[in-house]
Structure 1
Amino acid sequence: MSFWDDDFYSTRVKRRTRKESSFGQGSSYGRSFRSGSGFRVALVSSLVSSLLVATVFTFAIDRPSHSASHPVTANGLTVTSQPMVAAAAKIRPTVVSIINRPGEPTDAERDSLPMDGVENSSLGSGVIFEKKGGKAHIITNAHVVEGSGSLEIVMVNGTTKDAKVLGMDTITDLAVLEVDAKDIDAVAKVGKSADLQEGETVIALGNPLGLSDSLTDGIVSNLRRIIPVSLSQDGTYDWEEEVIQISAPINPGNSGGGLFNLNGEVVGINSMKIADLGVEGIGFAIPIDDAMPVVKQLLEEGKVPRPYLGVYAIDLKSYLDTQKAMDMPSLPSLPDGEEFGQGSQGEDGESEDGVPSPVVPDGVENGVLVLEAVGPAKEAGLKLNDIIVGLDDKPVNSMMDLRKYLYNSKKIGDTLSVTYYRDGKKQELSVKLAENSDDNE
């Protein structure tokens, strides 16, 4: 029987055979019972009834009474959801809806917008985590407030307030907002995501699909799931997020909302879900232990300072795959000795559109292809079409490798050794890393 057979979930029980279900069949007791007198039948029936009454009475005496933690309703039902009800009442006032209205559109964009412009706004959620100096601070996702012209929060009681961004960081997808603290009485208690256990019940609260103050529950499916993401939303994975996987539904608008334990403590910031046909119950939240150090930096500096190399680049493998797809029909006619990647070059080493093509040495399939060098990289001598294959003698196979090494292993002001190929020849240079003023490498 396969796992998905309907019978697997059926509550039906196979009908017992007469041999299996006949009481005492095959025993001497059964034979004497069937052949006995009416008196024996009455006697046995009386004994069985007495035994049944005694068993029921004993069970009733020994059965423990309901404790205070499991209250009983008027109709006698045990209230097992009481901890979740209590947590929901505690956390609801701490989660807000966020309305992101973009900046003033261009004339061309304005012609295509609805008359009221409402559909052009985007929705998200946030968690009030502190009040200080007459202001309240809210954690949310960077992608919720990105590109905003104006921001507005809506509290659980319907009160609206204008909000401003104090800081945001696209790498961790976190942002901090500030609003007037008047009439804000509830602040979320920050818990510890390190204390979570797989299988533990959690609550996700936010503004899914514009349905503000919406609560769902689930369990912690995985404490440290590594998910590749595309920071530039171009389909190329260039970063990895370590997140909590949960079974609570996460829908558009839930982003930036809180993930809470049953004590009412925020243990994560809801961030993303896998959106695919047939996929259900797979959502992700940023662990609060990872989020709070970033939040502190955003409050103090408005950004997360990171080392800056200064290259606009793509994965070499992506470039080679594209060239292979474009040049496949003409590969048999390539001149002898011409290296792959040069098939569309003219005699001057330029492509048909006048842009020089990179020289990719035989056997080199992974690395980072430089499209433009600026800042520290340009000052050090990196150029268009250089192929970076190593940083500090550590291999670099992709933009994700480059970014992770920079952000996890280097500091602003450090010197970085870069190994690269130029015109097919392997070379090396040193770059002094500056502070990153945006999200470039």
Structure 2
Amino acid sequence: MRIIDVETHDDIKAYGSGASGVIIENKDQRYYALTAAHVVEDESRGYIACIVNTPTYKEYRKKSGNSGYISNDEYYSMMPEIKVEYISDESDLAVVSFECDENLIKVEVASDVPEKGDRIVCIGNPVDSEERFVESYGKIKSNLVEFIADKKTDTVLKHSAYIAPGSSGGAVYNENMKIAGINVGGGTDSFGRFKYGVMIPAEQIAEFIEEWHRIN
């Protein structure tokens, strides 16, 4: 899924380029998704969910029979509002929820520990792509290392699958298409070119979900 931030000033809404998330469970029509905490921690903003079946602007205009201009407010109004359910105090992880009457796919967190050399695929919404839900392939390229961002320290794995701003919060899948990690950042070379992605691994995600369930 894509998480779009909404900033309102004097009743005028501005819509961000968005970040990423992955649905992990539901209760009836309310779906719960993992993302990175830094994606949704700004309490001054609202957030909306763009899911796989959400039409693009062009598709929406064609479906509505309107060949002319459609405002951003009209287009984005069809997307469900996101509620921030829980943000970790210690790691860059969060749970958000939204309501949807469609039957959406939920993804299981892997029970096995991801290791250096494992093949992976990232699915997210990098802002440098015109496509949504972009796939990129690579391998885990490090053992566990510390990664400090936004005053939080996570134990992470580096990987070679391409990511960019907008990929944060997106899932890293193993070969069984289970969640091996959540992307929270990356590194570039001196020319600003992609060098590696950074993910919080599955075992820490499982501990975070257990903590969320216990507190809530």
1:219: which partner in 2? 139
1:246 aligns with 2:168: no
CA distance 1:144–1:169, change in 2 (3 Å): same
- Whole-Å separation in 2 of the counterparts to 1:230 and 1:175: 14
Report the 3-state secondary structure (helix = DSSP H, G, I; strand = E; otherwise coil) of the residue aligned with 1:151. Answer: strand
Give the 5 Å matches for 1:68-83.
none
1:283 aligns with 2:197: yes
1:175 aligns with 2:175: no
CA distance 1:170–1:141, change in 2 (3 Å): farther
Give, in angstroms, the shift of residue 185 of structure 1. Answer: 3.0
- Whole-Å separation in 1 of the counterparts to 2:112 and 2:163: 18
User: Which of 149, 155, 174 is residue 261 of structure 1 equivalent to?
Assistant: 174
The structure with the greater share of residues assigned to strand is 2
- Whole-Å separation in 2 of the counterparts to 1:116 and 1:161: 15
Report the 3-state secondary structure (helix = DSSP H, G, I; strand = E; otherwise coil) of the residue aligned with 2:172. Answer: strand
Report the 3-state secondary structure (helix = DSSP H, G, I; strand = E; otherwise coil) of the residue aligned with 1:144. Answer: helix
- Whole-Å separation in 2 of the counterparts to 1:263 and 1:182: 27
Residues 193-249 of structure 1: CA distance to partner in whole angstroms, max 9, x if unpaired?
A: 51x232221000011106421110101101312223341xxxxxxx53210110011
The residue identity in structure 2 corresponding to 1:245 is: K
User: Which of 149, 156, 161 is residue 52 of structure 2 equivalent to?
Assistant: 156
1:192 aligns with 2:111: yes
Q: Is the 8 A contact 1:128 1:188 kept in 2?
A: yes
Give, in angstroms, the shift of residue 275 of structure 1. Answer: 3.7
1:202 aligns with 2:120: yes
Report the 3-state secondary structure (helix = DSSP H, G, I; strand = E; otherwise coil) of the residue aligned with 1:215. Answer: strand
- Whole-Å separation in 2 of the counterparts to 1:162 and 1:219: 35
- Whole-Å separation in 1 of the counterparts to 2:121 and 2:21: 14
Residues 399-441 of structure 1: CA distance to partner in whole angstroms, max 9, x if unpaired?
A: xxxxxxxxxxxxxxxxxxxxxxxxxxxxxxxxxxxxxxxxxxx
- Percent of aligned pairs with the same amino acid: 25
CA distance 1:273–1:193, change in 2 (3 Å): farther
Q: Is the 8 A contact 1:126 1:140 kept in 2?
A: yes
Structure 1-normalised TM-score? 0.40
- Whole-Å separation in 1 of the counterparts to 2:37 and 2:17: 13
Report the 3-state secondary structure (helix = DSSP H, G, I; strand = E; otherwise coil) of the residue aligned with 2:179. Answer: strand
Report the 3-state secondary structure (helix = DSSP H, G, I; strand = E; otherwise coil) of the residue aligned with 1:157. Answer: coil
Superposition RMSD in Å: 2.3
Q: Is the 8 A contact 1:136 1:181 kept in 2?
A: yes
- Whole-Å separation in 2 of the counterparts to 1:147 and 1:280: 26
Give, in angstroms, the shift of residue 170 of structure 1. Answer: 4.7
- Whole-Å separation in 2 of the counterparts to 1:264 and 1:254: 18
Bigger drift between 240-249 and 184-193 goes to 184-193
Structure 2-normalised TM-score? 0.78
Give the 5 Å matches for 1:334-413.
none
CA distance 1:153–1:251, change in 2 (3 Å): same
Residues 159-192 of structure 1: CA distance to partner in whole angstroms, max 9, x if unpaired?
A: 6322101111253011111112420331112213
Report the 3-state secondary structure (helix = DSSP H, G, I; strand = E; otherwise coil) of the residue aligned with 1:189. Answer: coil
The residue identity in structure 2 corresponding to 1:268 is: G
Q: Is the 8 A contact 1:201 1:262 kept in 2?
A: yes
The residue identity in structure 1 corresponding to 2:208 is: V
User: Which of 35, 38, 50 is residue 143 of structure 1 equivalent to?
Assistant: 38
CA distance 1:204–1:193, change in 2 (3 Å): farther
Structure 1 unaligned spans of 5+: 1-95, 232-238, 303-441
1:52: which partner in 2? none
The residue identity in structure 2 corresponding to 1:188 is: V
- Whole-Å separation in 1 of the counterparts to 2:19 and 2:200: 15
